[in-house]
Protein backbone atom coordinates (compact mmCIF):
# COMPACT_ATOMS: atom_id res chain seq x y z
CA UNK A 1 0.00 0.00 0.00
CA UNK A 2 2.81 2.43 0.81
CA UNK A 3 4.50 2.02 -2.56
CA UNK A 4 1.20 2.65 -4.36
CA UNK A 5 0.76 5.87 -2.39
CA UNK A 6 4.24 7.08 -3.35
CA UNK A 7 3.59 6.12 -6.98
CA UNK A 8 0.29 8.04 -7.01
CA UNK A 9 1.80 11.18 -5.51
CA UNK A 10 4.81 11.10 -7.83
CA UNK A 11 2.63 10.66 -10.91
CA UNK A 12 0.82 13.89 -10.07
CA UNK A 13 4.01 15.85 -9.41
CA UNK A 14 6.34 15.02 -12.29
CA UNK A 15 6.28 15.74 -16.01
CA UNK A 16 7.97 12.46 -17.07
CA UNK A 17 5.59 9.87 -15.66
CA UNK A 18 7.25 7.07 -17.63
CA UNK A 19 10.49 7.44 -15.66
CA UNK A 20 8.98 6.89 -12.21
CA UNK A 21 10.27 3.78 -10.44
CA UNK A 22 9.16 2.74 -6.97
CA UNK A 23 10.83 -0.16 -5.17
CA UNK A 24 9.93 -1.51 -1.75
CA UNK A 25 12.27 -3.61 0.37
CA UNK A 26 12.53 -4.79 3.96
CA UNK A 27 15.55 -4.36 6.20
CA UNK A 28 14.70 -5.87 9.54
CA UNK A 29 11.79 -3.92 11.01
CA UNK A 30 12.25 -1.09 8.50
CA UNK A 31 10.44 -0.79 5.19
CA UNK A 32 12.46 1.19 2.67
CA UNK A 33 10.65 2.75 -0.27
CA UNK A 34 12.92 3.96 -3.04
CA UNK A 35 11.54 6.56 -5.44
CA UNK A 36 13.43 7.25 -8.63
CA UNK A 37 12.39 10.02 -11.04
CA UNK A 38 13.94 11.81 -14.01
CA UNK A 39 16.66 14.31 -13.17
CA UNK A 40 14.47 17.17 -14.47
CA UNK A 41 11.69 16.24 -12.06
CA UNK A 42 13.86 15.89 -8.96
CA UNK A 43 13.14 19.44 -7.80
CA UNK A 44 9.39 18.91 -8.04
CA UNK A 45 9.54 15.79 -5.89
CA UNK A 46 11.85 17.25 -3.25
CA UNK A 47 10.33 20.74 -3.20
CA UNK A 48 11.74 23.95 -1.82
CA UNK A 49 13.64 23.14 1.33
CA UNK A 50 12.49 19.52 1.13
CA UNK A 51 8.88 20.38 1.94
CA UNK A 52 7.29 18.05 -0.62
CA UNK A 53 9.53 15.14 0.35
CA UNK A 54 8.82 15.71 4.04
CA UNK A 55 5.07 15.86 3.33
CA UNK A 56 5.30 12.54 1.48
CA UNK A 57 7.12 11.02 4.46
CA UNK A 58 4.43 12.34 6.83
CA UNK A 59 1.71 10.81 4.67
CA UNK A 60 3.54 7.48 4.71
CA UNK A 61 3.67 7.55 8.50
CA UNK A 62 -0.06 8.22 8.70
CA UNK A 63 -1.02 5.68 6.04
CA UNK A 64 1.08 2.84 7.44
CA UNK A 65 -0.17 0.36 9.98
CA UNK A 66 2.12 1.49 12.78
CA UNK A 67 0.74 -0.83 15.46
CA UNK A 68 3.69 -3.21 15.03
CA UNK A 69 6.36 -0.55 15.54
CA UNK A 70 7.80 -0.93 12.05
CA UNK A 71 9.49 2.09 10.50
CA UNK A 72 9.04 3.42 6.95
CA UNK A 73 11.83 5.28 5.16
CA UNK A 74 11.43 7.12 1.85
CA UNK A 75 14.59 7.44 -0.24
CA UNK A 76 14.45 9.70 -3.28
CA UNK A 77 17.00 9.04 -5.99
What pLDDT is attached to residue 39? 94
Domain containing 53 — which CATH number? 3.30.300.20
Strands (E), 1-77: 21-27, 30-36, 71-76
* Structural domain harbouring 43: 2-76
Q: What is the tens place of the pLDDT at every residue in 38-65?
A: 999 999 999 999 999 999 999 988 887 7
How far apart are alpha carbons 57 and 19 in whole angstroms? 21
Q: Of 52, 51, 39, nearest to 12 (Cα)? A: 52
pLDDT band (50, 70, 90) for residue 75: very high
Q: At what angle do helices 2-11 and 51-63 cross, to 10 degrees?
A: 150
Q: Are the beta carbons of 71 and 30 closer than 8 angstroms?
A: yes
Q: Are the beta carbons of 3 and 72 closer than 8 angstroms?
A: no
Counting the structural domains of the chain, the total is: 1
Amino acid sequence: MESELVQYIAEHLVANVDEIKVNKRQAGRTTIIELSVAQDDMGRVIGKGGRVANAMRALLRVASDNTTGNRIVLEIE
